[in-house]
Amino acid sequence: MPPREACGVVGVSLQGKGAAPYLFRGLRALQHRGQESAGIATSSHGVMHHQKGMGLVHEIFTQELLDSLRGTTGIGHVRYPTTGATDLENAQPIIVKIRDEDGAIAHNGDIVNFERVRRHLQARGVDLLGNADTEMMAQSIALEFGQTRDIETAIRRACATLVGGYAVVFLVGNRVYGFRDPLGIRPMVFGTVDGGVAVASESVALEMMGGKSIRDVEPGEVLVLEKGQVAHTSKIPNGGETAHCMFEWVYFSRPDSVVDKQPVYDVRYRIGQHLAKESPAEADLVVPVPDSARPQALGFAAGTGIPYAEALIKSRFVERTFILPDQRRREMEVQVKLHPVPGLLKGKRVVLIDDSIVRGTTLREIVQMVRGAGAVRVDVRVGCPPIRAPCYFGIDMKDRRQLVAHNRNESEVASIIGADSVHYLSIPGLVESIGLRAEELCLGCLTGRYPVEVPEERHRFQKSLVEY
Ligand code: SF4
């Protein structure tokens, strides 16, 4: 089974400055998108420099390593493997040959017609070494380049055959190509940094590189960065349609990012206000599951008038539980990363606010913890409608059986996680909170209706139809 990722990418083109320190800062800002491995590739006078490693960005990239990454142009990647081996071989960027030139490519997302494209490549004499989307994308572009002799055109032509959600940075020579799937499922922004231009999965990365976000990379847009400027831009026609992933606002992006023009913090606060209207509770305290549910809890407290309290304290740095790759590790980490404030919860009726429930294992531990600290009642309010179907576009929610809301109603979920009640935000409430129209969003994991056909879901992500 091929690896699937929910990752972060960054690419810069500068004049008179080394790209590596910028990429390092950008990747650190995107660390929440993947903690398994990280990599940087830079190009200097046509020579590719490339380093990657397992672990966190600041652990991998020593000053010595950064000094070895020469050149004013480069790309970087943080990776979270959702399936497949968690080894260095799968870390990105990967190096590819574009005719006689070295290229490097990194991406965030998933291709859903993998098998079809693989067969198409094989029929033309291209054998994939591994089975990752990244290599397949690079080979598709290389194949098209053989016909067109122009990378930008080759990218557009390759993308026309790739179905899925993806945001890609591709380094060839002294150019960075940043591009996004035609529906804009996965996010990417463009901005300026001191001495040049950059693209990244989230606006916060541009800001942490000392720059600022100018605009989103449009769905289907191919942005060419060269010599510190935008050299060219073009688009794969998409009929004006979009399908931005709702989960970026709900959980995945940092609250200090702006995704597709909607500030993540504001969306989360509005989610809390909507929840307060839809599912108020009789309680003494509103308590967020830190960190990602804080804005929602503040919105809920403002909407209900119930006092807000930070009654669960998170350890300074422990990885986000959902993106740890192993279930047992996830469960153990809850104990390590959260602890209740003594006395604050004793004898209280608590409304616990969480951003979303995927598997429910983390929340079950937290509810137990809150009860253990003396709460007399725990009502849970969730800032995302029930996740009932898998994601095929880069977020690790692949198996319906792992989803606690699959085939269960709110009271069944409440009894599984040990809460007195559970209420989810409605889909209209979520859409209104995000501030875009439902038709502009991907809501596939909530509704089971996906923005593109997923022809090979049974082959790629499931052993058999029976298990589906
Ligand atoms: S299926 Fe869900 S998580 Fe996946 S892209 Fe769509 S909204 Fe996002």
Q: Say yes or no: CB of residue 442 within 6 Å of ligand 1.
A: yes
The C-alpha R_g of the chain, in whole angstroms, comes to: 22
Measured distance CA(385)–CA(405) in Å, rounded: 9
Report pLDDT for 308.
98
Q: Say yes or no: CB of residue 165 within 6 Å of ligand 1.
A: yes
Report pLDDT for 240.
87
Distances (CA, A) of 33 to 68, 309, 362, 427: 25, 27, 18, 25
CB atoms within 10 A of CB 331: 16
Helix (H, G, I), strand (E, B) or coil at 292: coil
Measured distance CA(371)–CA(373) in Å, rounded: 5
Which of 385, 323, 352 has the alpha carbon at shortest distance from 36? 323
Burial label for 47, CB within 10 Å (0-12, 13-18, 19+), is exposed
Residue with tokens 């809920």: 300
Which of 22, 30, 28, 70 has the alpha carbon at shortest distance from 46? 70
Q: Say yes or no: CB of residue 112 within 6 Å of ligand 1.
A: no
Measured distance CA(61)–CA(53) in Å, rounded: 8
Report pLDDT for 463.
37
Report pLDDT for 468.
34
Tell me, in angstroms, the distance from the centre of ligand 1 to residue 179's CA: 19
CB atoms within 10 A of CB 335: 10
Report pLDDT for 226.
97
Report pLDDT for 25.
98
Q: What is the pTM of this model?
A: 0.92
Please check whether residue 430 is in contact with residue 286, taking contact to mean a CB–CB distance below 8 angstroms. no
Q: Ligand 1 pocket test: which of 82, 259, 391 has the largest number of ligand atoms within 8 Å of its C-beta?
A: 391
Please check whether residue 49 is in contact with residue 23, taking contact to mean a CB–CB distance below 8 angstroms. no
Report pLDDT for 115.
85
Report pLDDT for 46.
85
Task: Using 50 as the pLDDT threshold, list the residues of the chain that sit under it.
Answer: 1-5, 83-84, 320-322, 459, 461-468
Report pLDDT for 207.
98
Q: Whose CA is nearest to atom 8 of ligand 1?
A: 245
Q: Say yes or no: CB of residue 252 within 6 Å of ligand 1.
A: no
CB atoms within 10 A of CB 389: 19
